[in-house]
Amino acid sequence: MNSRRDFLQKLAASALAMPFLSSYDAFGHADFRLPVSQGPVLRVALMGLGGYASRVAEAMQSCKRAKITGLISGTPGKLQEWGAKYQVPEKSRYNYENFDNIKDNPDIDAVYVITPNALHHDQVIRVAKAGKHAICEKPMALNAKEGQEMVDACANAGVKLLVGYRMHFEPKTLEVVRMRQAGELGKIMFFQGQCGFRIGDPNQWRLDKALAGGGSLMDIGIYAVNGARYMVGEEPVWVTAQETKTDTAKFKEGVDETIQFQLGFPSGAVASCLSTYNMNYLDRFFLNGEKGFAELQPSTGYGPIKGRTNKGELTQPHVTHQTLQMDEMAGIILDNNKPVVPVDGEEGLKDLKIMDAIYAACATGQRQELRG
């Protein structure tokens, strides 16, 4: 009993230390009586009912503030099956041709775009034109030009644009950010981000330049780009990068297999990162400061995330990332909450500018300077 009470106290203390963490138990169940973020429910239509949308849909069943109220798919059978499973009535099921009609649906506040990367730009702009908030999966677009157009379209339509950066709400990640912000790690000197996996089926859209926009960097290396920014707490001012390819049949022109890149920050801190589709067991962040360090490994998988710092193991509870993300996004959209690490379109755009520069550095062999 005592250990349960200790556990509850620890959990309550860690939840209180994280102002944007809603109430979930250590297993990601949302029925734990801690201070709950309250308010209206965000009614979400899911677009693209594939692998990741399935995970999001399941996780949303435990949400307090977000609910699936619409579905968009090109496959009638999926609309029927998902509609029955998640109690979404026929009038709130759409296909890719008619989803603009969502503008007349009062039961939908936001659309979560979970389709292949190349489709995000046009789909988000259509969502904005329909007057609905957009949540878009990473990478937000194929390049910064597209990203800017999406940001502008949402601003012009008066809707919010958020990017599915689930790690921005993850408790151990936020503890490292808190330590860095509080000066507990001292002046930050170095970040290392290693992100990769060995990709399977050579015929999947992730290896098709037209749909993916690139290769490993667009899909998994983006976590190192994004992580470098929130771990170091600065925006990089220069980029160098080198690409290597061992399999030109699987990784065709424009589809990167492995990229190493380096970022330089205004303070003088540097980052050294690896993005690959050809190595397993690569999911590690390391942050080095003059007074301490933090290591997360795994750092961006679905969890549990594990980590330690110079002060010891990180003990924040595991929460199903997508449950937490969607509840917090409801607070951002409906209550104007400001997350510790932003998830808005500008944030997605910053990553796209860096990724454009990484590709340019690979192509030219030249260091790329980044401006605001």
User: Residues touching ligand NAD: how many (CB under 6 A)?
Assistant: 19
Which residue number has the CB closest to ligand NAD?
Answer: 50
Among 64, 132, 138, 172, the active-site one is 138
* Alpha carbon distance 339, 328 (integer Å): 8
96 catalytically annotated: no
Q: Does 164 bind ligand NAD (CB under 6 A)?
A: yes
- The yes or no reply on residue 298 touching ligand NAD (CB under 6 A) is no
Which lies closer to ligand NAD via its Cβ, residue 15 or residue 144? 144
Residue type, 122: D
Nearer to ligand NAD, 269 or 358 (CB): 358
What is the number of H-type helices and E-type strands within the chain?
11, 15
Q: Which of 14, 23, 117, 173 binds ligand NAD (CB under 6 A)?
A: 117
Residues 267, 185 contacting (CB under 8 angstroms): no
Position 255 contacts ligand NAD (CB under 6 A): no
Q: Stretches 45-53, 151-159, 291-299, 359-367: which one binds ligand NAD (CB under 6 A)?
A: 45-53
Dist. CA 217–CA 363, nearest whole Å: 14
Residue 210: its H or E element: helix 209-212
DSSP 64-95: SSEEEEEEE-S-HHHHHHHHHHTT--GGGEE-
Least distance (Å) between residue 128 CB and ligand NAD: 18
Q: Is 116 in the site for ligand NAD (CB under 6 A)?
A: yes
**Terminus-to-terminus CA distance in the chain, angstroms?**
54
Short-list 321, 297, 305, 319, CA closest to 11:
319
166 near ligand NAD, rule: CB under 6 A: yes
The verdict on whether 172 is a catalytic residue reads no
Q: ∠ at Cα 165 (323, 207), nearest 5°?
A: 110
Q: Does 48 bind ligand NAD (CB under 6 A)?
A: yes
Residue 83 binding ligand NAD, by CB under 6 A: no
| 138 is an interface residue for ligand NAD by CB under 6 A | yes
List residues near ligand NAD by CB under 6 A: 48-53, 74, 114-117, 119, 137-138, 164, 166, 205, 211, 219
Positions marked catalytic = 138, 223
